[in-house]
């Protein structure tokens, strides 16, 4: 999948919502989706950073994106349904959803992690992705070919000491993927998968692995073939799977 070569118009005519679109993998995926023809709905907390990504897409000649400043830590059913309704009203459709937003505090042993920390970690990394997908489900079901991608994490897939609530939440996305994959028929929309990026040169990786030189790691752009494959029509048969990008 790392060697996948997407055609230039792979996502032409599609509308794709990306959370965490202001930085890291979410930003890179938003730019990649737009380069391949998608109208991207950019969602993140930081409006200034969203505007920067918006400007990059427009300057590169991509379809004009939409911006949705939104804090997933404050999400509730009503506001998420309003968000889905706004997408339907202004963009008319939804063909894809990439969950790239995340919350990470630090590496600490479980006995030092508080209830409040766990509630926030679960809310942003697991509960909000579920609830946003559920709110967007009617739109995604109407699309001829819709894809939802949850962003997993190596330590959610193979838990290790000190990753605590973050790893538990990311592991929960894998369970959620398999349950939804079981519930949604092979000929129904959307297809839902979890993508584990692996080690990549991001700010998060720098915080968790300060001894690793960024130059030794894949860049966010190196991983975009994986994202494009799972978001585009060539992966129609892949559903309910946990996919490791660098496996």
**Tens of pLDDT, residues 23-63:** 999 999 999 999 999 999 999 999 999 999 999 999 999 99
Q: How far apart are CA 85 and CA 101, in angstroms?
A: 21
Mean pLDDT of the chain: 92
CA 175-181-187 angle, 5° bins: 175
Over 70: is that where the pLDDT of 204 sits?
no
How far, in Å, are 112, 130, 169 from residue 115 at the CA level?
A: 10, 21, 14
DSSP secondary structure letter of residue 64 = P
Are the C-beta atoms of residues 199 and 154 closer than 8 Å to each other?
Answer: yes
CA 120-158-184 angle, 5° bins: 75
**What was the pLDDT predicted at 1?**
73
Average pLDDT (157-178) is 94
Q: How far apart are CA 182 and CA 64, in angstroms?
A: 36
**What was the pLDDT predicted at 37?**
98
Over 70: is that where the pLDDT of 121 sits?
yes
Token pair in block for residue 37: 């023809």
DSSP secondary structure letter of residue 194 = E
- Separation of CA 179 from chain center: 18
Confirm whether 166 is a catalytic residue: yes
- Render pLDDT for 169-195 as a digit per residue (tens, 0 to 9): 999 999 999 999 999 999 999 999 999
Q: Indicate the SS3 state at residue 150.
A: strand
**What was the pLDDT predicted at 158?**
87
DSSP secondary structure letter of residue 240 = S
Q: Domain 15-242, what fold?
A: Rossmann fold (3.40.50)
Among the options 4, 54, 162, 166, which is catalytic? Answer: 166
**What was the pLDDT predicted at 155?**
86
Q: How far apart are CA 135 and CA 72, in angstroms?
A: 13
pTM for the predicted model, two decimal places: 0.93
Q: Which residues share a beta bridge with 148? A: 97, 192
- Separation of CA 90 from chain center: 21
pLDDT band at 212 (very low <50, low <70, confident <90, very high): low
**What was the pLDDT predicted at 203?**
58
Are the C-beta atoms of residues 209 and 222 closer than 8 Å to each other?
Answer: no
């Amino acid at each position: 999948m790392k060697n996948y070569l997407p055609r230039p118009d792979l996502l032409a005519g599609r509308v794709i919502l990306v959370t965490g679109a202001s930085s890291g993998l979410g930003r890179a995926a938003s730019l990649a989706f737009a380069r391949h023809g998608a109208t991207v709905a950019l969602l993140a907390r930081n409006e200034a950073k969203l505007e920067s990504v918006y400007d990059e897409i427009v300057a590169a000649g991509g379809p004009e994106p939409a911006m949705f400043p939104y804090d997933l830590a404050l999400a509730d059913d009503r506001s998420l349904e309003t968000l889905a309704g706004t997408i339907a009203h202004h963009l008319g459709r939804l063909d894809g959803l990439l969950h790239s937003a995340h919350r990470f505090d630090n590496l600490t042993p479980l006995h030092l992690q508080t209830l409040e920390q766990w509630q926030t970690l679960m809310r942003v990394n697991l509960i909000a992705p579920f609830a946003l997908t559920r709110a967007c489900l009617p739109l995604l079901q109407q699309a001829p070919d819709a894809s939802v991608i949850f962003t997993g994490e190596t330590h959610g897939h193979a838990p290790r000491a000190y990753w605590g609530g973050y790893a538990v939440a990311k592991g929960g996305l894998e369970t959620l993927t398999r349950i939804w994959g079981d519930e949604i028929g092979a000929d129904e929309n959307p297809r839902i998968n979890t993508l584990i990026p692996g080690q990549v040169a991001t700010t998060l990786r720098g915080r968790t692995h300060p001894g690793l030189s960024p130059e030794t790691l894949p860049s966010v752009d190196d991983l975009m073939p994986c994202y494009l494959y799972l978001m585009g029509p060539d992966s129609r048969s892949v559903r309910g799977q946990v996919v490791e990008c660098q496996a």
